[in-house]
Structure 1
Amino acid sequence: MQEQSIGAMLAAARQSAGLTVAQVAAATRIREAIIHCMERDEYGDCGGAFYARGHVRAIAKAVGLDPEATVHLYDQQHGGAPQPMPASSVFQADRKINLPERRGPNWTMALGVALAIVVVFGMMRVLGGGGDQVRTGDVRAASARPSVPPNTPITEAPKPSPSAVAAKNIVTVRIKAKRSSYVNLHDAKGRKLFAGTLKAGKTSTWRAPDKVNVLLADAGAVTLHVNGKRVKGLGGRGDVVRRSFGPQKPQSR
């Protein structure tokens, strides 16, 4: 089975978000005609692969899909990411660098300064009459270690132990792909657990505390289990579904 195209995915996500093409065009500043063409997987009016990837990223963000994962899927369906520009075409290796000329030391000025120092030193000895001994003040090096009275016990405040997340708050989500489909999962704090295409026949499991938010680009292509129980009635083929799942409720006695 062929996996869902980028254009169909963008159109389904836009309809699921309740947005019109005009609203997406206003949010992304991309012309409505181009958005209509992209939803039909026609990218000739985008101005090249570079701009097409930028349009895919902007529209995916506007309709609630993961931008990087959507662009990655676009690259897979359209021959891979574009090759980077070689550095030799940007920088010229034969560029000349002008270095300032090094000049020798000014011996005349150095000799004059040395002579002036000798004259000043001789006048100080004649006028001062002091001996050659120079007294230095007593300097005691400060100890780097603080002084602690002997036989004084050193106590440290106990470190608080980190609170472990209770097992009852863990949400377990298992997805099995009947055919390749795009899947996006985030935890309760918005951190990404997974975003990408789940290949046909593959089963993956994710765990997170408190809540797991799930986006399915094709609800009919996967089987979903939450906390060991299968979720029924997700949707049909090509349906874009958003669901949130919490931890398993304790059984009443």
Structure 2
Amino acid sequence: MSARTRVREALIHAMERDDFSHCGGDFYARGHIRNISKVLGLDPEAMVHEYDELHGGVPLPVRAASVFQADKPINIRERRSPNWTMAMGVALAILVVFGVVKMMGGEETPTADIRPAKKSAAPHSAHARPLAGGQRRAGAALAPKQGEVVLQITARRPSWLDVKDSAGRRLFSGRMTAGQASVWRAQKALKVTFGDAGAFSVRMNGVDLGVPGSGGEVLKHSYKASKS
């Protein structure tokens, strides 16, 4: 019987003497009774019912709420108001990063009035009026005089630009919009800092130099006049 039911032989002998104290509790005792009843060909439920009658009756059902009731009440977090301190900290960090970028690229202080070239204007208009700091509107004559550098810079997308002459005088510093083009001329050389080298195209003394660098690259370049 022990081999067929996997119930220890000593436990079977104890159950035959109505001693269920070694079963480990009523739950296990009922399981052993069911196994032995099946092997003996008896009704397992009837035998379990008889056991319950002889040992205090059928156990009362246990409510799930009493089993899973938490020892401590669960506090639901109240909805918090916005964390303004964190928001102010993030805003301050953004301002600091923006300030560092401006310091690295140069102060953005426009010194000349840049106006987008009108599409109807001729490429070499004889009526182009010089602007402050040696700047001319795009479309002005690009033919350089002896020892002079003439740059036409066109913004392919919005970006920042800084232009100085060979003596270090700032001719322009500011942001150009997409499609905007301007011309600068100076003796000996022009020094240009591109906030985004891939955002501009350059013509020097009428020669197309293309894009000065890759997108997102901060580039400083000096354009010098020909010695001939």
Normalized against structure 1, the TM-score is what?
0.38
Higher relative contact order (CA 8 A, sep 6+): 1
TM-score (norm 2): 0.41
User: Which structure is higher in strand share?
Assistant: 2
From the CA coordinates, give the structure whose radius of gyration is larger.
Answer: 2
